[in-house]
């Protein structure tokens, strides 16, 4: 098993986790006729395990997610060596009306990942009616709706586990391919406001849109021209919001 592939799979899992969070946040602005609720405040710890084909499971990252009742959140994903020393750290955060960003400490820049609506309310959605719904399951005692996203060539898939009781929060992601299986799952959830100290240090650095542009290209190459065009319009709006970034 190529170490570089395992590294890419771990990085992809972080991106999937971030995008899963965005998916839940987007529900705040959908179907406002269904008794909208304020966002949940919580702290969640998730852990990843990567199992290359024919090999033993390997530990991946540990993710700490801090979410406030105003809808904003911060996530810190860390890799540690067997002796407990920090090897790598990835930081992402989302602010209502501003967007979702990945932090690059080395170059002191922010990568724009996705937009976030300014409306901080969640409206219930019946994920069982989603065409990608496959079954119910549970994580940490919370009932979840499992949505499956198959690869275009049918060689693998990603399953996301969303908890209705936690406003469709993503609690687990299983990524299966011919080369490896990655499982990222919540191991602890504490309801209540996280410490303000976790948010005071959020950086206000120059913003880069490279990652978002790459997603537009992927959409275009996959034939999803309508979605790609919508993303281009969003990108234009974001660039106008940050003209000097």
pLDDT tens, position by position, 132-144: 999 999 999 999 9
| Residue 16: both structure tokens together | 């999937």
Other Cβ atoms less than 10 A from the Cβ of 141: the count is 8
Domain boundaries 3-208, corresponding CATH code: 2.50.20
- Using alpha carbons only, what angle is made at residue 207 by residues 104 and 42, rounded to the nearest 5 degrees? 65
* Burial annotation 25-54 (CB, 10 A radius, 16+ → b, else e): bbbbbeeeeeebeebbbbbbebebebbbee
Residue 155 has φ and ψ, to the nearest 5°, of -85, -15
Residue 77 is inside which H or E element, if any?
A: strand 73-80
Check residue 94 and give its pLDDT: 92
Contact 220, 228 (CB under 8 A): yes
Strands 207-208 and 109-114: parallel
Q: List, for the chain, all residue ranges whose pLDDT scores fall below the cut of 70.
A: 1-36, 119-121, 243-245
Check residue 49 and give its pLDDT: 93
Mapping DSSP to helix (H, G, I), strand (E, B) and coil, where does residue 201 land?
Answer: coil
29 to 53, 67, 123, 234: CA distances (angstroms): 41, 17, 7, 16
CA–CA gap between residue 9 and residue 113 (Å, rounded): 18
| Residue 170: both structure tokens together | 């993503």
pLDDT in tens, 64-121: 999 999 889 999 999 887 777 878 899 999 988 888 999 999 999 999 998 887 766 6
Beta bridge partners of 66: 43, 74
Check residue 215 and give its pLDDT: 86
Check residue 24 and give its pLDDT: 45
**Half-sphere exposure (CA, 13 Å, Cβ side) for 200?**
4
């Amino acid at each position: 098993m190529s170490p570089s592939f395992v590294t890419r799979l771990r990085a992809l899992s972080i991106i999937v986790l971030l995008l899963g969070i965005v998916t839940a946040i987007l529900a705040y602005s959908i179907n406002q006729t269904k008794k909208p609720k304020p966002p949940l405040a919580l702290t969640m710890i998730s852990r990843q395990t990567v199992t290359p084909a024919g090999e033993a499971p390997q530990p991946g990252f540990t993710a700490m997610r801090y979410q406030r009742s105003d809808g904003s959140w911060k996530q810190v994903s860390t890799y540690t060596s067997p002796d407990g020393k920090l090897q790598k750290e990835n930081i992402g955060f989302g602010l209502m009306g501003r967007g979702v960003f990945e932090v690059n400490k080395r170059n002191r820049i922010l990568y724009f990942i996705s937009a976030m609506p300014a409306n901080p309310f969640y409206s219930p959605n019946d994920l069982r009616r989603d065409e990608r719904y496959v079954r119910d399951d549970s994580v940490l005692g919370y009932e979840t709706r499992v949505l499956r996203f198959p690869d275009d060539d049918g060689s693998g898939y990603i399953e996301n586990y969303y908890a209705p009781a936690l406003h469709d929060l993503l609690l687990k992601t299983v990524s299966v391919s011919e080369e490896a299986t990655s499982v990222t799952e919540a191991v602890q959830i504490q309801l209540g406001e996280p410490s303000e100290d976790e948010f005071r240090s959020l950086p206000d650095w120059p913003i880069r849109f490279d990652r978002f542009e790459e997603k537009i290209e992927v959409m275009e190459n996959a034939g999803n021209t309508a979605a790609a065009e919508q993303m281009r319009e969003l990108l234009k709006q974001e660039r106008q919001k940050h003209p000097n970034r």
